[in-house]
Amino acid sequence: MTSAADPVRYHLVRLVGGLSAPLRDTVGGLVDRPGKLVRSRLLTACAEFGRPDAGRVARLGAVVELVHLASLVHDDVIDRAAIRRGGPAVHRAAGPELAVLAGLACLSAAGMEAADLGEGVATAVSRTVAELAHGELLDVERGFDTGLPLPDYVDLVRRKTGVLFRLCCLLGAVESGVDSAAVAALAEFGVEWGIAFQVLDDCLDLEAAGDDKPAGTDHLLGLFGAPTLAALRRDTTGELHRLLLTPSFSGGDLPRVRELVTAHGGLRAARTLADVHFGRALAALGRTPDGPARRALVRMLEASRP
Ligand code: FPP
Ligand code: MG
């Protein structure tokens, strides 16, 4: 685990560094590969509506990144994922027992830091973690469900991903000192962006191998995202449905899945769904004070759109 110049990463390293050696070392690789730090950047950008205490903002950023890290460690156990952020998933390198325990320890470190930052912070973080767990449960339950209605999928994505984006915006907004109407608007901005973000992430499973994991990983687990769910509703021949539920379904079937989903307009429909939620996020931003902070958030959001 290397120390970092960036203040959020500095606190992330500090928090994980306080764990006992075996637990700390188990997640060291992920701390060294922190990803794009989207969530802490979002928190920091929301705090810019006021004149926040930079030290507190960096510590809050580390809290949300650590909750995110813990959720990924557990998610990779549940998803039996091999790769995370271009390296082996924690449970592949250390085994599932250590992965689960190290994830828990990270969550505890985030919780203690949150409590030190204030009772409201600790409550908001704990509430979010419970919702994430509910979202993940819904994700597990939908395995091999080719008939999952899109509104149910959106509800799942809201809980699995949207609520953490919401937390980031909420914590940043409160630090900025904006009024309660603007806090609520920023929270809504966060949840809507989070939904759009996850819908686009689900598109990647069909489009290309990303840095994070090979394409098709979700489909092989029976987790069908927005493009495939939309395509299934339009597939009058039933071929896509039959293919996805074939007991011998394997990586070799993925190119045909991609063809069918594209032919039935699934990827287009998913991008339209993401656009709906990007639009709602921007509408919520319209209820925040005009100025450089709002414009910076618009730029961040636009940069994340394909
Ligand atoms: C990634 O989804 C997973 C999440 C967004 C949420 C994971 C939540 C839990 C495991 C609940 C427990 C929470 C904590 C804080 C320990 P994905 O599998 O669609 O994305 P991926 O492609 O990046 O794996
Ligand atoms: Mg996963």
The predicted-structure confidence for 65-91, as pLDDT tens digits, reads as follows 999 999 999 999 998 888 898 899 999
Helix (H) or strand (E) holding 83: strand 83-84
Does residue 83 have its Cβ closer than 6 Å to ligand 1? no
pLDDT score, position 224: 94
Does the pTM exceed 0.85?
yes
Closest ligand by atom to 66 CA: 1
Can you give the CATH number for the domain in which 100 is found? Answer: 1.10.600.10
The DSSP 8-state label assigned to residue 89 in this structure reads -
CA–CA distance, 142 with 148 (Å, rounded to integer): 7
pLDDT score, position 215: 79
Q: Specify the ligand 1 atom closest to the Cα of 75.
A: 10
Burial of 161 per CB tally in 10 Å (0-12, 13-18, 19+): buried
- Which of 66, 132, 138, 161 to mutate to test ligand 1, by most ligand atoms within 8 A of the CB atom? 132
Determine the residue type at 76. Answer: D
pLDDT score, position 63: 98
Average pLDDT of the chain to the nearest whole number: 94
- Which of 23, 80, 136, 229 to mutate to test ligand 1, by most ligand atoms within 8 A of the CB atom? 136
In this predicted structure, the answer to whether residue 152 has a pLDDT above a threshold of 60 is yes
Give the E-state strand segments of 97-166 in sequence order.
Answer: none
> Cα of 83 to ligand 2 centre, how many Å?
10
Q: Is residue 1 part of a domain?
A: no
CA–CA distance, 169 with 108 (Å, rounded to integer): 22
Q: Are 135 and 13 in contact (CB under 8 A)?
A: no
SS3 47: helix
> Cα of 81 to ligand 2 centre, how many Å?
7
Does residue 38 have its Cβ closer than 6 Å to ligand 1? no
CA–CA distance, 128 with 165 (Å, rounded to integer): 10
CA–CA distance, 306 with 303 (Å, rounded to integer): 8
Residue-wise pLDDT for 261-273, tens only, equals 999 999 999 999 9
pLDDT score, position 5: 72
The DSSP 8-state label assigned to residue 252 in this structure reads G
CA–CA distance, 50 with 42 (Å, rounded to integer): 14
pLDDT score, position 256: 94
Residue nearest to atom 15 of ligand 1 (CA): 71
Percent of the chain at pLDDT > 90 equals: 88
Distances from the Cα of 86 to the Cα of 35, 90, 113, 206, 211, angstroms:
10, 12, 28, 18, 5
Q: Is residue 51 part of a domain?
A: yes
pLDDT score, position 86: 86
- Which of 38, 71, 125, 166 to mutate to test ligand 1, by most ligand atoms within 8 A of the CB atom? 71
CA–CA distance, 225 with 202 (Å, rounded to integer): 5
In this predicted structure, the answer to whether residue 287 has a pLDDT above a threshold of 60 is yes
Determine the residue type at 251. Answer: G
pLDDT score, position 216: 84
Residues shown for the chain: 306
Residue nearest to atom 17 of ligand 1 (CA): 75
CA–CA distance, 16 with 2 (Å, rounded to integer): 11
Neighbours of ion ligand 2 (CB under 5 A): 75, 79
pLDDT score, position 294: 98
Does residue 71 have its Cβ closer than 6 Å to ligand 1? yes
pLDDT score, position 4: 65
The residue-averaged pLDDT of 161-187 equals: 98
The residue-averaged pLDDT of 51-67 equals: 98
The residue-averaged pLDDT of 126-130 equals: 98
> Cα of 276 to ligand 1 centre, how many Å?
23
Rounded to 10 deg, the angle between the 180-207 and 163-176 helix axes is 150
CA–CA distance, 75 with 89 (Å, rounded to integer): 10
Q: Give the domain range for residue 81.
A: 7-303
The residue-averaged pLDDT of 270-295 equals: 97
Rounded to 10 deg, the angle between the 163-176 and 119-141 helix axes is 170
Which of these, 146, 118, 126, lies nearest to 56 by C-alpha position?
Answer: 118
Residue-wise pLDDT for 201-226, tens only, equals 999 888 865 556 677 888 988 999 99
Q: Are 28 and 16 in contact (CB under 8 A)?
A: yes
Does residue 109 have its Cβ closer than 6 Å to ligand 1? no
Total tally of structural domains belonging to the chain: 1
Q: Is residue 110 part of a domain?
A: yes
Residue-wise pLDDT for 20-39, tens only, equals 999 999 999 999 998 999 99
Q: Is residue 180 part of a domain?
A: yes
CA–CA distance, 280 with 54 (Å, rounded to integer): 29
Percent of the chain at pLDDT > 70 equals: 97
Q: Is residue 298 part of a domain?
A: yes
Q: Are 213 and 199 in contact (CB under 8 A)?
A: no
- In the numeric block, the tokens 């987790």 are attached to 223
CA–CA distance, 172 with 254 (Å, rounded to integer): 41
> Cα of 68 to ligand 1 centre, how many Å?
8
Which of these, 289, 292, 290, 285, lies nearest to 301 by C-alpha position?
Answer: 285
CA–CA distance, 242 with 295 (Å, rounded to integer): 47
Q: Is residue 272 part of a domain?
A: yes
